């Protein structure tokens, strides 16, 4: 009997091909969307981690409370000693001290008079002797012109400011800011190069400076407002991050000392945590929605198909096959078609995703004004889940469609089914 049914499936193209195409397309979309969202998400996570949040970051407890204001007067101290200890305790994890500060950028003319002035976002980091940090911050990719700073008094500035202020490379600019103790501080720096990250916040007014300069500029001797932490292979895992956070805080955080170090993970960031959750939920919803859509299409095509097949059903009933047996055989057929369609759809979806994984779409045009930290390139990313994610909805939709359509057999009187074939 099984062989008999298989022959029917293989020979009756209109019975098999249409549902197969529908399921394949649905599954393809599901797989592709998954890889796409996965790629977008991990692109965003990577970018945000490298520029803004780290996988984890260490700050003082006081700083943590108002972390959005980046209050460098509440910075970590004795940073060199802390770093030595951290490297020993957590081998494999990268620790990168960075300090955010703000102020005015002043461009003098040849007479020393102010030619242009504007505010900036300053980031102090290891620019001079830490190739690893250059990599982490994707600085090489971000460089538009000039070279990386070679000395303490050389800085990088955003290409937007550079053009707005009509600067030239090696021009001298003044930074006007306040020290961590609140007194005014003015220092001159040479523009070594310009950068563009594709992130609105940074591109509007970033100034990158080496950590060695802030002892003088901000009066931050052996201090840093944040220490970025990166997991091995730069691969974020919430579980690992939480684990390290717990052990770190148990050891280093002192509830009585608000300047004691405290570690938080990327997920502790309100926006980022929300984005991650939203993405996961919306992918689930999209998949569910697609599955229902595919099921409805299959239901309809199944109905048409079954009406076309009432003749066959009538004959089979007359020959003495029971309704239940016929119904089950329709459902079994749909399982086979569902699996086959899911395999085809998954392969197609993976093929497209694979292509886009290696040929990312350049979205820098759209991202120039984005406040979301996302890479300039948008690539799909295949993971283990993408191999399976299409199967459940693909097979379920097929079964659901055929079950709904197959109920027609039960609704009709045997003789009635039988008459419909005579027309």
Partner 1 sequence: MENIVQIKNMIKRYPAGSGEFTALKDINLTIGKGEFTGFVGPSGSGKTTLLNIIGTLDRQSEGDVQVMGTDVLKLTHKQSARLRSEKIGFIFQSYNLLPVYTVYENVEFPLLLLNIPESKRKEMVLKALEWVGLTDKIKSKPHQLSGGECQRVAIARAIVKRPLLVVADEPTANLDAENSHHILKTMVELNRELKTTFIFSTHDQKVINYLERKISLIDGRITKDEIKEG
Q: Which residues bind partner 1 (CB under 8 A)?
A: 1, 4, 7-8, 11-12, 311-312, 314-325, 413-415, 418, 421-422
Tell me the C-alpha distance between 197 and 369, whole Å: 11
* CB closer to partner 1 out of 7 and 87: 7
CA–CA distances in Å: residue 317 to residues 285, 312, 328, 361, 414: 41, 9, 13, 56, 7
* First vs last C-alpha separation in the chain: 28
Helix (H, G, I), strand (E, B) or coil at 320: coil
Which tokens is 206 given?
């970033």
**CB of residue 410 to partner 1, shortest distance in Å:** 10
Residues 255, 259, 260, 262, CA torsion sign: positive
Q: How far is the CB of 379 from partner 1 (least distance, A)?
A: 46
How far is residue 278's CA from residue 395's CA, in Å, rounded to a whole number? 26
Q: Which is nearer to partner 1, 199 or 317 (CB)?
A: 317
Q: Which is nearer to partner 1, 68 or 422 (CB)?
A: 422
Query: Closest CB to partner 1 among 171 and 321?
Result: 321
Distance, CA of 308 to CA of 178 (rounded, Å) = 82
Which whole-number Å values give the CA distances from 49 to 2, 205, 208, 387, 395, in the listed order? 55, 20, 17, 27, 38
Whose CA is closest to 330, among 363, 357, 308?
Answer: 308
CB of 20 to partner 1, least distance (A): 16
Q: Which residues contact 179 (CB under 8 A, 6 or more apart)?
A: 185, 217, 218, 219, 220
Query: If phi over 0 gives left and psi between -120 and 50 gives alpha, with beta otherwise, what is residue 172?
Result: beta
The partner residues of 261 in beta bridges, in order of sequence, read 60
* Between 216 and 321, CB nearer to partner 1: 321
Of residues 8 and 360, the one with the C-beta less far from partner 1: 8
For partner 1, the closer of residues 322 and 369 by Cβ is 322
DSSP 3-state of 116: strand
Residue 253 per-residue DSSP state? -
Closest CB to partner 1 among 403 and 421?
A: 421
Contact 114, 107 (CB under 8 A): yes
Is the Cβ of residue 250 or residue 319 nearer to partner 1 in the bound state? 319
Least Å distance, CB 303 to partner 1, is 19
User: How far apart are CB 342 and partner 1 at their closest, in Å?
Assistant: 24
Q: HEC profile for 35-101?
A: HHHHHHHHHHHHHHHHHHHCCEEEEEHHHHHCHHHCCHHHCEECHHHHHHHHHHHCCCCEEEEEEEE
- Residue among 115 and 323 whose Cβ is closer to partner 1: 323
Q: Which two tokens stand for residue 174?
A: 């003044």
């Amino acid at each position: 009997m099984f062989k008999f049914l298989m022959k029917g499936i293989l020979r009756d193209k209109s019975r098999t091909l249409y549902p197969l195409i529908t399921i394949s397309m649905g599954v393809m979309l599901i797989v592709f969307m998954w890889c796409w969202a996965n790629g977008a998400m991990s692109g965003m996570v990577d970018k945000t981690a490298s520029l803004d949040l780290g996988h984890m970051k260490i700050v003082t407890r006081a700083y943590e409370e108002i972390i959005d204001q980046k209050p460098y007067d509440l910075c970590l101290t004795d940073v060199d000693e802390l770093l030595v200890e951290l490297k020993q305790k957590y081998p494999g994890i990268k620790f990168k001290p960075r300090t955010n500060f703000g102020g005015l950028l002043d461009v003098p003319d040849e007479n020393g008079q102010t030619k242009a002035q504007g505010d900036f976002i300053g980031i102090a980091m290891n620019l001079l002797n830490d190739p690893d940090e250059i990599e982490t911050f994707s600085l090489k990719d971000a460089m538009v012109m000039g070279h990386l700073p070679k000395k303490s008094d050389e800085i990088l500035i955003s290409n937007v400011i550079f053009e707005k202020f009509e600067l030239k490379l090696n021009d001298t600019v003044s930074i006007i800011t306040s020290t961590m103790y609140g007194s005014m501080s003015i220092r001159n720096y040479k523009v070594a190069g310009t950068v563009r990250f594709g992130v609105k916040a940074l591109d509007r007014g970033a100034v990158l400076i080496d950590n060695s300069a802030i002892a003088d500029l901000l009066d931050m001797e052996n201090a840093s407002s944040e220490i970025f932490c990166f997991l091995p292979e730069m691969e974020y895992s919430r579980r690992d991050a939480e684990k390290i956070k717990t052990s770190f805080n148990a050891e280093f955080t002192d509830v009585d000392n608000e300047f004691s170090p405290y570690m938080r993970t990327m997920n502790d960031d309100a926006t980022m945590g929300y984005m991650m959750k939203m993405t996961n939920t919306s992918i689930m919803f999209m998949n569910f929605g697609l599955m229902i859509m595919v099921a409805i299409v299959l239901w309809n095509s199944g109905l048409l198909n079954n009406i076309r097949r009432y003749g066959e059903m009538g004959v089979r009933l007359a020959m003495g096959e029971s309704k239940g047996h016929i119904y089950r055989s329709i459902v079994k057929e749909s399982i086979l078609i569902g699996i086959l369609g899911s395999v085809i759809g998954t392969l197609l979806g993976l093929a497209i995703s694979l292509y886009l994984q290696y040929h990312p779409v350049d979205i820098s045009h759209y991202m120039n004004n984005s406040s979301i930290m996302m890479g300039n390139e948008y690539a799909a990313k295949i993971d283990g889940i993408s191999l399976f994610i299409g199967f459940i909805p693909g097979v379920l939709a097929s079964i659901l469609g055929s079950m709904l359509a197959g109920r027609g057999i039960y609704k009709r009187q045997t003789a009635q089914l039988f008459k419909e074939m005579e027309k």
